[in-house]
Amino acid sequence: MSYIMEDKFRLDRQTIGLRVAREFQDGDVVNLGIGMPGMASNFVPAGREVIFHAEMGVLGFGEMTAPGEGDYDLVNAGGQTVHELPGMSCFDHAEAFTMIRGGHVDVSVMGAFQVSEKGDLANYMVPERKVGVVGGAMDLAIGTKRLIISMTHTTKDGQPRILKECTYPITALNCVDLIVTDIAVIEVTENGLVLKEIAPGWTPEEVQSLTEPTLIVDPDCQEITLM
Amino acid sequence: MPINKIVSSFDDAVADMQDGATILVGGFGVVAGAPSLLLEAVARKGVKDLTMVACVAGFGKDVWSLLGFKFPEDQDILVRNGQVKKAITTAPVSAIYENNFERLLRAGKVELEMASQGSLAERIRAAKAGLGGVYTPVGIGTVLQEGKETRIIDGKEYILELPIKADFALIKADKADRWGNLVYRRTTRTYNAVMAGAAAVTVAEVNEIVDLGELDADFIHTPGIYVDRVVVRPDVVEGAEVEISEAARQSHQKFLERKGN
């Protein structure tokens, strides 16, 4: 079905990170997942001060260090060494998750295998593997004020990841607020999924053809902008 | 007689651990506060049928070496030695590698109880604080709800998570005094500070022992009441050069090829 679209331009990982980072508001406390979501830390819009939170117990750390140059007593959720910043604080795991589960973290950015129409999230286990990594994903999905998912719109073989119902094991129900993919920005609302932005060169119909549930096209739907 | 919780060797620190013990192992992964030398001592002791409670089930020296890092041991040493009967953990497997735990799980040789990081921390804290359990909305509608009591409080559904009672807590800190007061560095506090005092015996592996009174009372992270034994690391702890097994190499390659799926 998608042979015409295969050649179309899709946002790369960095550009998705750039778009996600636009969501960070001045003063937000932000928790970034491992991998693609972590890219967003490099693109905080100029003039906004954002505090990054990591689950093993640190607030206010800086960018990743060059490989091999960091202090292995100071890492992010991916175990990568990061720089210290003035104002940084360290604490234990129970405290870190009190912040998450108690609703004190403003934004969480995670990857996903699947997201449903109602905002259900599946991101901890591929069924064929029969075992996965829950980590802090369930806590973050339930506890943070706003959950942003950054992922590719379709699987490697072109199947939709945005579905009527998730078929993979559930991380949390009804938790996703915004989905940023390589071709679209979609808001999860009580009325359904609202298509807010599309990648350059795409039409809403083409995005719909790669999305299982029916999208509500926002009257102000526009091309994805990065600034 | 002066209180002195300092023991002279890692082997002495775990000498009374029994087969079938439940052990809490601190740290996030090996890079943020695993009690590596205590784990080596448990491996030397050879106790079996352990229930291991830890954030991760371990990655192992050879995969770290493959990725270009030189780290000391993590939880994997007990897994690959066949000393673990069951793990209660949030990250039993790796995203980049089929670790020993995954291999043994497939072979039916270990049991897994999956937990979320927040609930694991609270279950440990509940045991430490003498609570009968903790109600949390995390896990509703997921496999973590299975077999657990639920309750509606103020119109919202919660799961009852029970305390984890343990025989030993093996933790890692930066500095200690002879009373067992502890200070951690940066992101190594993680589960170490949560687990301190949550088991019958808490053993702290530390970088440095300082005189009583040297730690500022306002900046002690774990008061000594939670700590039973302190053992100090040698000046330098480095991962020895390890040979990368063919299994590790192939497994890592497989994951690299699968990446992006």
ipTM of the shown complex: 0.93
Do B121 and A97 make contact, defined as CB atoms within 8 angstroms? Answer: yes
**How many Cβ pairs within 8 Å bridge chains A and B?**
137
Cα–Cα distance for residue pair A147/A177, rounded to 1 Å = 5
Which chain A positions have a beta carbon within 8 Å of B106's beta carbon? 130
- At residue A41, the pLDDT reads 80
d(CA A11, CA B227): 52
Which of these, A15, A26, A46, lies nearest to A224 by C-alpha position?
A: A15
State whether B189 and A134 contact (CB < 8 Å). Answer: no
- At B245, the pLDDT band (50, 70, 90 cuts) reads low
Task: Tell me the pLDDT tens digit for each residue of B80-130.
Answer: 999 999 999 999 998 777 899 999 999 999 999 999 999 999 999 999 999
Please name every residue paired with A109 in a beta bridge, in sequence order, or none if there are none.
Answer: A32, A148
Cβ A71–B186 below 8 Å, yes or no? Answer: yes
Provide the residue type at B173 as one letter. Answer: A
In a domain, B58, yes or no: yes
pLDDT of residue A7: 73
C-alpha dist (Å) from residue A223 to A24, A194, A213, B198, B233:
19, 14, 21, 54, 58
CA distance B155 to chain A (A): 16
Give CA–CA dist B72/B30, Å, rounded. 7
Residue A77: its pLDDT value, please?
87
* Residue A117 to residue A164: CA distance in whole angstroms: 5
Closest CA of chain B from A187, distance in Å: 22
What is residue B66's predicted lDDT score, i.e. its pLDDT? 77
The verdict on a CB contact (< 8 Å) between A92 and B144 is: no
On chain A, the residues whose CB falls within 8 A of the CB of B90 are 133-136
Is residue B138 one of the residues assigned to a domain? no
> In Å, how far are A165, A202, A214 from A211, measured between CA atoms?
12, 14, 7
**Contacts with B174 from chain A: Cβ below 8 Å:** 73
Please indicate whether residue A55 is annotated as part of the active site: yes
Cα–Cα separations (whole angstroms), residue B205 to A21, B20, B116, B173: 40, 22, 26, 6
Strand partners, B89: B54, B114
Count of C-beta atoms within a 10 Å radius of residue A43: 16
Which chain B residues are Cβ-neighbours of A113 within 8 angstroms? none
Using DSSP's 3-state secondary structure scheme, residue A127 falls into: helix
List the beta bridge partners of residue A32. A109
CA triple A111-A112-A115, angle to 5 deg: 135
pLDDT of the residue at A2: 46
Residue A81 confidence (pLDDT) = 87
Range of B173's domain?
21-114+165-258
Specify the pairing of strand A178-180 against strand A192-198. Answer: unpaired
- Low-confidence residues in chain A, pLDDT < 50: 1-3
B71 interaction partners in chain A (CB closer than 8 Å): 72
User: Is the pLDDT score of B176 beyond 60?
Assistant: yes
DSSP state of A128: G
> HEC states along A174-220?
CCCCEEECCCEEEEEECCEEEEEEECCCCCHHHHHHCCCCCEEEEEE
**pLDDT grade for B261, boundaries at 50, 70 and 90:** very low
Within a domain: B129: no
Structural domain tally of chain B? 1
Using a CB-CB cut-off of 8 Å, the residues of chain A touching B192 are 92
Indicate if the pLDDT at residue B141 is higher than 90: yes
B91 phi and psi, to 5 degrees?
A: -135, 80
How many angstroms separate the CA atoms of A134 and B142, rounded?
A: 11
Does B142 sit within 8 Å of A138, measured CB to CB? yes
Contact A116, A173 (CB under 8 A): no
The domain that holds B109 is classified in CATH as 3.40.1080.10
Q: Is residue B209 in a domain? A: yes
Tell me whether residue B10 is in a domain: no
Contact assignment for B261 to A155 by CB distance below 8 Å: yes
- Residue pair A114/A167 in contact (Cβ under 8 Å)? The answer is yes
Q: How far is CA B260 from CA A157, B89, B95, B123, B257, in A?
A: 11, 26, 11, 35, 8
Domains of chain A, CATH where assigned? 13-223 (3.40.1080.10)
Residue-level pLDDT at A71: 86
CA–CA separation, A112 vs A140, rounded Å?
A: 13
- B229: in domain: yes
Strands A58-59 and A51-54: antiparallel
**Considering CB atoms only, which of A58, A97, A130 is closest to B187?**
A58
Instruction: For residue B195, give the nearest of B217, B219, B221, B175 by alpha carbon.
Output: B221
Q: Do B142 and A169 touch (CB under 8 A)?
A: yes
State how beta strands B156-161 and A184-189 pair.
Answer: unpaired
What distance in Å separates residue A212's CA from the closest CA in chain B? Answer: 19
Structure token pair of residue A39: 């890219």
**Choice among A55, A117, A197, A206 that is catalytic:** A55
The answer on pLDDT for B67 being more than 80 is: no
> Which residue among A54, A94, A126 sits closest to B122, beta carbon to beta carbon?
A94
Q: What is the DSSP string of chain B?
A: -----B-S-HHHHTTT--TT-EEEE-SSSGGGT--HHHHHHHHHHT--SEEEEEEE----HHHHHHTT------THHHHHTT-EEEEEEEE-S-SSS--HHHHHHHTT-SEEEE--HHHHHHHHHHHHHT-S-EEESTTTTSGGGTT--EEEETTEEEEEE----EEEEEEEEEEE-TT--EE--GGG-HHHHHHTTSEEEEEEEEEEE--TT-S-GGG-SB-GGG-SEEEEPPS---PPP-PPPHHHHHHHHHHHHHTT-
| Any domain includes B65 | yes
- Res. B175: pLDDT tops 50: yes
- Chain A: closest CA distance from residue B20 (Å): 25
Of B93, B140, B221, the CB nearest to A173: B140
**What pLDDT is recorded for position B258?**
57
Coil, strand or helix at A109: strand
Label residue B59 by pLDDT band (50, 70, 90). confident
pLDDT tens for each residue of B195-205: 999 999 999 99
Contact of A25 with A48, CB cutoff 8 Å? yes
CB contact under 8 A, B117 and A73: no
Pick the residue of A92, A121, A155, A159 with the most B CBs within 10 A to test the interface with B by mutation: A92
In a domain, B212, yes or no: yes
Distance from CA of B193 to the nearest CA of A (A): 6
Helix (H) or strand (E) holding A149: strand A146-150
- pLDDT score of B180 more than 90: yes
Q: What whole-number distance in Å separates Cα of residue B139 and Cα of residue A185? A: 27
